[in-house]
Amino acid sequence: MKNFWMILSFALTAFCSISAANALGKMAPCSDPRCNSISEKSQAEARRLRIDAEANFNSRIKPYCTTRALAELNRSIEVNPFDPEAYELRAAVKSRSDDMAGAIADLDLRIRLWPQDPQGYLLRAAVEDERGNFDAAFRDDIMALNLDGNLAASHQNLACDYLRQGDKSRALREMDRAIELWALANAPSKVLAQRASVLTEHGLNRAAIQDYSRLIGFQSWRLSAFLDRARIRYQLGDFDGALKDLSVVLSVDNDNVEAHYVCAQALLAKGEFSAAAPEVQSALCLTIAKPPQWLVFVFLIALSNLPFLLPLVWLRRKTWGILS
């Protein structure tokens, strides 16, 4: 459930902290007394290797550059084995390669070197969650929150933990707090989208609609929010509301196959077969160059909630004339 949060933490928080340390030209804080035994020359060389590794990690040529990043980080840690952020970045590289055990080992070292930083516990919690070690993830989330109660990430992760435990009320309180904290940073959309998705997964559709509506208020250009809200409205039987959201999506992106299909479903649910047929045909034309008309009929029947024979009779009488 925290896969999104793990990616966000590795891709943004970890790299921002690394970049900050690079800009200052020094290592991150380290509680190990041996940290000060590393010469400035060695620190500079390890930092150079780490910067190169970060650049390779962010490269689009992922398989090749991930291997290079790992090699550079191994060398960086050999030169300076007391840099917490080198272990953090290597954990990110290993997690991308699905080496979750290796990522946990590196995050253990990162926490040992910098135990007062909650980010290490958040990252380890995300990886433990990915491995299915939910109790360990929960303990790390609690530890991160104890170290800094004002981290939106901690509250967001705990919300996921409580949802898994079936405690929806505590989960929503944690999400509310996370949104408050993101709002202070002028970035509530970071968690609104995820909370809406989580609420949908747990059947809290009306609450999810409220979150998507708030998200659209912050980011009116976010077509995915309109599409997600349309899906939920369709499920709740608000077909007109769903069609209104879908019209926004299709007015900007008329090649959105899923929007055409959901639109067809909503129109069929309203009994507007004549309007649904062109939506199905548009969706099929985006995936098949020249879809045969019988395929359009099949999709209309499949999307319809009506008994099989009724749309079939209607299609024979009406749709052929519309589409021909």
Q: What percent of the chain has pLDDT over 70?
A: 73
pLDDT tier, 142 (very low <50, low <70, confident <90, very high otherwise): very high
Say whether pLDDT at 25 is over 50.
Answer: no
For residue 255, what pLDDT is reported?
86
Rounded Cα distance between 56 and 173, Å, is 39
For residue 236, what pLDDT is reported?
92
pLDDT tier, 4 (very low <50, low <70, confident <90, very high otherwise): very low
For residue 204, what pLDDT is reported?
84
Q: What are phi and psi of 225, to 5 degrees?
A: -70, -40
| Lookup: tokens for 320 | 């052929």
Rounded Cα distance between 232 and 319, Å, is 28
For residue 220, what pLDDT is reported?
77
Rounded Cα distance between 154 and 160, Å, is 10
pLDDT tier, 318 (very low <50, low <70, confident <90, very high otherwise): very low
For residue 151, what pLDDT is reported?
80
Measuring CA to CA, how many Å separate 287 from each of 23, 46, 98, 263, 290?
48, 50, 32, 16, 9
Q: What is the mean pLDDT of residues 10-26?
A: 40
For residue 65, what pLDDT is reported?
72
For residue 184, what pLDDT is reported?
55
For residue 15, what pLDDT is reported?
39
List pLDDT tens digits, range 73-129. 999 999 999 988 899 999 988 988 889 999 999 999 999 998 988 889 999 998 998
Rounded Cα distance between 249 and 221, Å, is 10
Average pLDDT, the chain: 77
For residue 180, what pLDDT is reported?
78
Domains of the chain, earliest start first:
1-148 (1.25.40.10), 167-253 (1.25.40.10), 255-324 (no CATH)
Note whether 177 and 171 are within 8 A (CB): no
Q: What are phi and psi of 106, to 5 degrees?
A: -70, -40
For residue 137, what pLDDT is reported?
92
Q: What is the mean pLDDT of residues 181-195?
A: 67
Q: What is the mean pLDDT of residues 31-42?
A: 75
Rounded Cα distance between 120 and 144, Å, is 8
| Lookup: tokens for 201 | 């997964």
Q: What is the mean pLDDT of residues 302-308?
A: 53
Say whether pLDDT at 256 is over 50.
Answer: yes
Q: What is the CA radius of gyration of the chain?
A: 25
pLDDT tier, 40 (very low <50, low <70, confident <90, very high otherwise): confident
For residue 268, what pLDDT is reported?
85
Rounded Cα distance between 40 and 156, Å, is 39
List pLDDT tens digits, range 225-254. 899 999 999 999 999 999 999 999 998 888
Say whether pLDDT at 59 is over 80.
Answer: no
Place of tokens 């928080």: 13
Tell me the whole-structure pTM to 2 decimals.
Answer: 0.56
Instruction: Output the CA torsion sign for 83, 58, 49, 21.
Output: negative
